[in-house]
Amino acid sequence: MEQSYFRDVVNAEYNRKHDERIEYGTAGFRTKSDILEHVLYRMGLLAVLRSKAKRAAIGLMITASHNLEPDNGIKLVDPAGEMLEASWETIATNLANVQDNELISRLTHISTNENIDLLVPATVIIGRDTRRSSPILLNAALAGIRALYGNVTDLGLITTPQLHYVVVCTNTNGAYGNPTLQGYYSKLAAVFKSIRGAETNNGMYMNVLQLDAANGVGAIAAKEFQRSLEGVLNIRLFNDGSGNLNHMCGADYVKVQQALPLNIPSETNVRCVSIDGDADRVVYFYIDRANKFHLLDGDRIATLVAAYFKELLETSGLALQLGLVQTAYANGGSTNYISNVLRVPVACVPTGVKHLHKKALEFDIGIYFEANGHGTVIFKDIAKETIKNHAKNETLLAAQRVASAKLRDVIDLINETVGDALSDMLLVETILHAKGWNVIEWERSYNDLPNKQLKVRVKDRNLITTTNAERHCLTPVGLQEEIDKIVSKYSRGRSFVRPSGTEDIVRVYAECENSSDVGKLAMGVASLVY
């Protein structure tokens, strides 16, 4: 059966035209778009097999997120909205790299090894970002899916988190929401408006927001919210798709450069927000009276959300376990605040959403955020049930009832499937509104330590291996001791190096108390890895 089932997969149009080895990394396959066609074709084939193996719909997203226009990429989304299972990342890498004449035998091997019933129907839900190369790559993926007789739902231009959302809704028969883009927009907009109520402003909170959409697909989604939230939240949209994707704009640019993106007017103390090219990351920022740039990154969002949930849980009298997950990039100022002031348990895991998501599942309510702005909140089913029942309890005091109802409602504002820039933004706006805070009050909760990130090009980045959630180097032997020596010279100093999972470079992170020293610390550590 197997060999003959795969007989139509050889398609000269999608033969491998490049010999370069390619790997399914933290963010799927990602590289120059012109060498990806055969990879997309093969991932179309693999998505069908994955769908059959899981007996559920699979997502396929064509995007290179915050990378510049010439790059592109692809990642597969598993049925419950998670990243592709680790063992299938290896299968994907192997399939992407086999010679054309080995394609049939490799597919046969996968289907036998994974015990796949080829008669089971397959469904692949596809989305793509706005890159010029995306339509060509879409055709390649479609050709792969059709070669194995899979069903396709092509959602067109959508954000990565929208794809995750539709995959989950499809596989839960609508229990998580309506499996359409309209379902996504109306769910979020309706709950945002109902939580806010008639008072659109509150205390120091003003309902005006400047949004930098990185000239990416998030601009399309932002326009939908701009329309549906008109008068409730006034979104001024910049980098709305008319300029170059991620070029001097977007969440990654703003986070790493710690500078205003192109085109955003520099208005004193106005809340600004940047999302990335596929709208799964978000950071806030503003310019103060002295024209100084202030960044409120993923750590700030995480602490704001954690404090909000902690307060609601305490007021409502619910004893659910709240936890926060960060990575080594989290600013020491935020970790200190979470542990010592908020007293919320905090865990540190390696970079990459799959690690954060997995750890957050251990808590009743798990908040996870990378400093770069990728994150969300996830709830155990039992926690949701408990909150719902509690809100119905008629013996509660008025304050308890209000807090439990808020908790119950805010869950619907959150895209639990994956970090979602726009849903996170609506959550931040909801919390700031509830507290009556402007951006300055939000920033006041703790001070970030001055920090710097550098990229270092090396011959083989994989010579560097790390442990302890990437905070310590194992190899090359002796490197960690050298880093420790340099770091020890700086008050509240901390630094680590790790090989990037998305670029052929090593990343260096450094923070310390004095902003005038942080560059020197980062350069000192970087010089050790050249």
Active site members: 65
Of 105-113, 218-226, 239-247, 498-506: span binding ligand 16G (CB under 6 A): 498-506
* Residue of 38, 50, 435, 507 that binds ligand 16G (CB under 6 A): 507
Choosing from 11, 15, 26, 172, the residue that interacts with ligand 16G (CB under 6 A) is 26
Question: Is the CB of 240 or the CB of 278 nearer to Zn ion?
Answer: 278
Residue where the block lists tokens 């109520």: 197
Q: State yes or no: residue 250 binds ligand 16G (CB under 6 A).
A: no
Instruction: Work out whether 503 is an interface residue with ligand 16G (CB under 6 A).
Output: yes
Minimum distance of ligand 16G from residue 330's CB (angstroms):
12
Phi, psi at residue 57, to the nearest 5°? -75, 145
Alpha helices by DSSP H, listed for 98-235, are 103-113, 134-147, 160-171, 181-196, 218-228
Q: Which of ligand 16G, Zn ion, none is residue 351 near (CB under 5 to 8 Å by kind)?
A: ligand 16G
Minimum CB distance to ligand 16G smaller for 273 or for 508: 508
For residue 451, state whether it binds ligand 16G (rule: CB under 6 A): no
Residue 33 site contact among Zn ion, ligand 16G, none (CB < 5 to 8 Å, cut-off depends on kind): none
Question: For 241-299, where are the E strands, in sequence order?
Answer: 272-275, 282-287, 293-296
Contact partner, 26, from ligand 16G, Zn ion, none, Cβ < 5-8 Å per class: ligand 16G
Among the listed residues 63, 65, 133, 417, the single contact to ligand 16G using CB under 6 A = 65
Minimum distance, C-beta of residue 65 to Zn ion, in the bound complex (Å)? 3
Residue 1 CB neighbour total at 10 angstroms: 9
Q: Is 210 in the site for ligand 16G (CB under 6 A)?
A: no
Q: Are 453 and 257 in contact (CB under 8 A)?
A: no
- 276 belongs to the binding site for ligand 16G (CB under 6 A): no
Decide which of ligand 16G, Zn ion, none touches 278; Cβ closer than 5 to 8 Å per partner kind: Zn ion
User: CA–CA separation, 418 vs 370, rounded Å?
Assistant: 12
How far apart (Å, rounded) are the C-alpha atoms in residues 10 and 25?
Answer: 26
Residue 98 CA to its chain's centroid (Å): 30
Q: Name the nearest CA neighbour of 167 among 76, 53, 62.
A: 76
Distance, in Å, from the CA atom of 276 to the CA atom of 279, rounded to the nearest integer, reads: 5
Instruction: Supply the minimum distance, in Å, between the C-beta of residue 503 and ligand 16G.
Output: 5
Helix axes 181-196, 421-435, angle to 10 degrees: 10
State the CB neighbour count (10 A cutoff) for residue 481: 9
**Stretch 347-386: interaction string toward ligand 16G, x if CB under 6 A:** ----xxx----------------x-x-x------------
CB contact at 8 A, 281 and 63? no
Question: What residue ranges bind ligand 16G (CB under 6 A)?
Answer: 26-27, 65, 351-353, 370, 372, 374, 500-503, 507
